[in-house]
Chains A and B, each alone.
Chain A
Amino acid sequence: MSDLISIRDLDKAAIEKLLASAEKMEQNLFTMHDTFKGKVAATLFFEPSTRTHLSFQTAAQRLGMSVVPYYHASSSSSKGESLKDTLKIVDGYADILVIRHPLEGSARWAAEVAQHPLVNAGDGGNQHPTQTLIDLFAIQKAKSKIKGLNVQLVGDLKHARVMRSLVYALGMFGANISLAAPVGLEMDPVIVKETEERFGAKISQTSKLDLADSDVVYVCRIQKERFSDPYAASKLQASFRISPELIKAAKEGMILMHPLPKLDEIPPEVDASPHAYYFQQARCGVPVRMAVLSYCMKG
């Protein structure tokens, strides 16, 4: 049995294997219910989530597992129980644990505490490895490749854990990466440099939005919950909006991705655009998370 904590723990071959498994899961989405019959998955979410939580629950159920969901607001943690105690208790009930927690590194530590396999569903501003796998899967599905694609990451690149995981994986897969962030919300230069040095990736950076050369534009929202001044966050959001006018400059076949929830950064009018790909992207969540759960259960 294995844990999945960080995209940094996986090499390219392991990711390709997971993506191939996800493809099989997608083809057999409704016929896998005997795979882990009788097993129990616990989903521990200490932060709000819709897609990640629901798709993990759906994935576990499609594989035949029962799901015990844990909600922070209605649990003993809200009475002050330590995370370690909570983990030890839930580890005694379930065969696999899925955790989202606001502190960075919480999943790595939780995996040390728990004896059963554990999947990171987001640890603060650090990592969101299963979202990255979904993104790679979705790109490959739309474009049949990742290597050589011009991928632009747009938005709050400083705080979004999705982007931290994704830039690393895109570098690993040989994409040409450009980063567009408002001033002050640029990606940590340590991550940029590491991705360049480790994979020989080409990464350019700008503070202006220009979609003309991109095959993939990946947008994330301004992470208001990580700002001390919500007004400043709103102002930045307004300055980095993918408007219908802006999208006219995109080349044919460009796909517009977003981990969702999307707010003002992509207005509803864009949903009808042939470039809008985020809802298809979100649907990849179930087969990819089925592949992840299966990988962790089997090791």
Chain B
Amino acid sequence: MPLLIERIQEGTVIDRIQAFRGIRVLEILHLIPTGPNQAEMKSRIALVINVPSRHMGRKDILKIEGRELQPAEVNKIALIAPEARLNVIRGGKVGVKQDVKLPLKLEGIAVCPNPQCISRVEMDNSIFNTEPRGLRCQYCERLFAPSELLV
């Protein structure tokens, strides 16, 4: 029996998220409010995990009702969901369709793989700058392939 998720009229669909990474995408995009802000939340969010996909084998899909996410905002997930596609839905139709790409600066998304890096010991943040040959930790200055970062 197919699992049916209602179409949204206005909002955002993030498709092609690597299977089982949808929850991390929710965290990175801060889509779930905390504390008293939860009572203020108007939009509905659907996360479908482990959906069969011709393109990827298995994938996650995220639907956010009533909120248009901007590409710059969604690009933050490129590290953990490099094949993700942003679809902005307007009047029940896809208005904007765009693949995510790594932003110039990734802040607070991944942990530096270098155990001697200050960001692993004294800080509660990390910053990586995108360069042609990889991602460079702003602190220890080491260059990593996106797949090497701890997410």
Binding site for B on A (CB under 8 A): 6, 8, 82-84, 101-106, 108-109, 123-127, 190, 193-194
B141 touches A127 (CB 8 A): yes
B119 near A105 (CB under 8 angstroms)? yes
Are B117 and A105 neighbours in the complex by a CB distance under 8 Å?
yes
Contacts of A194 in B (CB 8 A): 133, 143
Contact with A along B105-134 (1 / 0, CB 8 A): 000000000101111011100000000010
In the complex, the answer to whether A105 meets B137 with C-beta atoms within 8 Å is: yes
Residues of B within 8 A of A105 (CB): 117-119, 137-141
The main secondary structure of chain A at its interface with chain B is mixed
Q: Max chain A CB contacts within 10 Å: which of B114, B139, B142?
A: B139
Are A190 and B143 closer than 8 Å at their CB atoms?
yes
B141–A125 touching, CB < 8 Å: no
Query: Is chain B's interface secondary structure helix, strand, loop, or mixed overall?
Result: loop
A127 proximity list for chain B (CB < 8 A): 141
Bound CA–CA A126/B121 (angstroms): 16
Q: Which of B119, B133, B140, B143 contacts A126 (CB 8 A)?
A: B140
Known: A194-B133, A194-B143. A104 touches B116 (CB 8 A): yes
Does A109 contact B141, Cβ atoms closer than 8 Å? no
Which residues of B from 65 to 114 have beta carbons under 8 Å from A?
A: 114
Q: Which of B133, B139, B143 makes the CB contact (< 8 A) with A108?
A: B139
Which residues on A sit within 8 Å (CB–CB) of B123?
109
The answer to whether B141 touches A8 (Cβ under 8 A) is yes
Q: How long is the Cα–Cα vector from A104 to B116 in the complex, in angstroms? A: 6
A86–B10 CA distance with the chains assembled, in angstroms: 51
**B66, chain A: closest CB distance, angstroms:** 37
**Most chain A beta-carbon contacts within 10 A, residue among B117, B118, B137:** B118
Contacting pair B143 A109 (CB below 8 A)? no
In angstroms, Cα B133 to Cα A193, docked, is 10
The 15 listed contacts between A and B (C-beta, < 8 Å) are A82-B122, A103-B117, A103-B118, A104-B114, A104-B139, A105-B118, A105-B119, A105-B140, A109-B118, A109-B123, A125-B116, A126-B141, A127-B141, A190-B133, A193-B133
Q: Closest approach, in angstroms, between the C-beta of A82 and any C-beta of chain B? A: 7
Q: Are A6's CB and B141's CB within 8 A?
A: yes
Given A109-B122, A109-B123: A103 touches B116 (CB 8 Å cut-off)? yes
